[in-house]
Amino acid sequence: MNLLFIFPLLTNNILRGGDRIIEPASSDASIEVYRHSASHIMAHAVKELFPDTKLAIGPATSEGFYYDFDCKKVFTEEDLPLIERKMNEIIKAGRPFIREEVSKKDAVKLFESLGEMYKVELLQEIEDDVVSLYREDSFIDLCRGPHLRSTGKVKAFKLLSVAGAYWRGDEKNKMLQRIYGVAFFTKAELEEHLRFLEEIKKRDHRRLGKELDLYSMNDEIGPGLVLWHPKGACIRKVIENFWTEEHYRAGYQILYTPHMAKLDLWRRTGHVDFYRENMYSPMEIEGADYEIKPMNCPFHIYVYKSRLRSYRDLPLRFAELGTVYRYERSGVLHGLLRVRGFTQDDAHIFCTEEQLEEEIIRVLELTLFMLKTFGFSDYDIYISTRPDKFVGTTENWERATNSLTNALTRQGLKFSIDPGEGVFYGPKIDIKVKDCLGRPWQCSTIQVDFNIPERLDITYRGQDNKDNRPIMVHRALMGSLERFFGILIEHHAGIFPLWLSPVQAAVLTISERHVEYSRSILDTLKKEGLRVELNTGDEKIGYKIREATLQKIPYLIIIGEKEAINHTVNIRTRGGENLGEMTVEQLITILNEEITKRR
């Protein structure tokens, strides 16, 4: 069954009678129905305005609704008010949604006669002999339902945007046009959501990345491949240095590994069997097939296997900022959040079963410390348990899951169980950070692996002088640098704390005669390791301040006649606060204290 036909059944206490027509109420179930009904009204409006349009699918989503259309006219955002007006006419008419059950055969004939071939294709996949249709006035659609009692029950909606979408998400199929909208029970809720969307738009890392000259992507290089510009690369280097220092402090050893390996390695690890759709085509080198790496794990294993390991060596912690490459469909690529080449802050821990729980606690402590340092103190934690298809014994899975649970409990961390959502090789902890807007982002993960240690036969010599199998833990704190950087941009709205800012201060001259003194200030601050730039242009000081503020530079150092004579500086913050005149030494103290506190 497909999207329109798998719209979730609601419980009997929500349904009114047996007709699967419901009234709006404040529940997740009914908001889905409310939004799904709005998507039908939108489809009706589009059909009336553009009769040659063919209908595809139109489900509710967690945020609103959408509908996919096949239409000769290319929709633009300028068309949305026209469609909204027609929707309001349909809503004002208050026509009932009428459920009809017909044979699948009759439904096929109906939609063939209407030229709705996408509906016919959906019908052909349905095994039931009887299907349901929903009609309101002259509009009819294939749908499982339920719906509101009438179009008039929709009180507050807004169409947002137009995008392309391949039929059934397959790039081999025709590109359709998708119109997105939102709907709420009240206008107050809608207005609040629209304000929220405006705030998201202001923080969009793709827009800020361009405005602040942090990164770019270019189709001539390839979609999903990131070009780090000097300012973005500067922030990345600061993050990497902090990451490296903290990992050395936490007892990790840093590795560097190749970007590709023989394809046979990926067969042995199981990636070819379980992960092939995310891997690129192999390349032949001297008669052997090589694959660019989708993972770092096998390389760390072979460092482990490079010599005999003893129980005295364990726990052994290997970490790497390793760049990997995964195939993602072009339709799902999204700025820095979904790319094809990215750097994982990867680590693998080899330990005994007795050490596992303590190692998980150590990872949790390091993870939460680093997340808090970057400004994330709110998060949700999940334990994902054994899926239907898995490797290893149920006893091992139970012991590993208990270790994850016990570690979280000992740390006093609240968590939820995500049943059956573990990876095939072991259970895991997932930490979803919440940004300043309350949006959750999957970043950190701690995974126990029963698969690769067996497949690649890794062992350690135990106290019994026999070979034993170590437990392997995969973990990432930030997930990937690219994605984490995108989240950071949006969380801080590009207003990075001083320690992360690519330019920490800008020296701005009032006139040309102050240039020489300003250069001496620049040199002094740079010798202190501060990231400073100088603007000696002919523009007025007000313009220079405005430009530096738009670039979100934390401190503005203004040099005029008084400062040049007194050998001082005048300081203003990007927030508009005037700190007044001070010595260069005082400024250096202020900056270094703030940087040390990572604020």
Query: What phi and psi values does residue 69 have, to the nearest 5 degrees?
Result: -125, 145
Rounded to an integer, what is the distance from CA 186 to the centroid of its chain?
Answer: 29
If phi > 0 it is left, if psi is from -120 to 50 it is alpha, else beta; for residue 391 that is: beta
Find out whether 91 and 154 touch, Cβ atoms under 8 Å: yes
**What is the set of active-site residues?**
297, 326, 344, 346, 348, 428, 474
For the chain, how many residues are written?
599
**In this structure, how many other beta carbons lie within 10 angstroms of the beta carbon of residue 333?**
15
Phi first, then psi, for residue 445 (nearest 5°) are: -145, 145
Residue 49 sits at the vertex; the CA angle it makes with 47 and 53, to the nearest 5 degrees, is 40
Q: Give the start-end residues of each E strand in 23-91.
A: 54-55, 65-70
Peptide bond into 146 cis (omega under 30): yes
Distances 573 to 24, 350, 545, 558 between C-alpha atoms, Å: 50, 48, 10, 11
Joined together, the tokens standing for residue 564 give 């040049």
Phi-psi region of 465 (alpha: psi -120 to 50; beta: other; left: phi over 0): left
Within 352-418, residue ranges assigned H as helices are 353-373, 394-410
| Helix or strand run (H / E) with residue 579 | strand 578-582
- Residue 494: CB partners within 8 Å, gap ≥ 6? 203, 208, 211, 212, 552
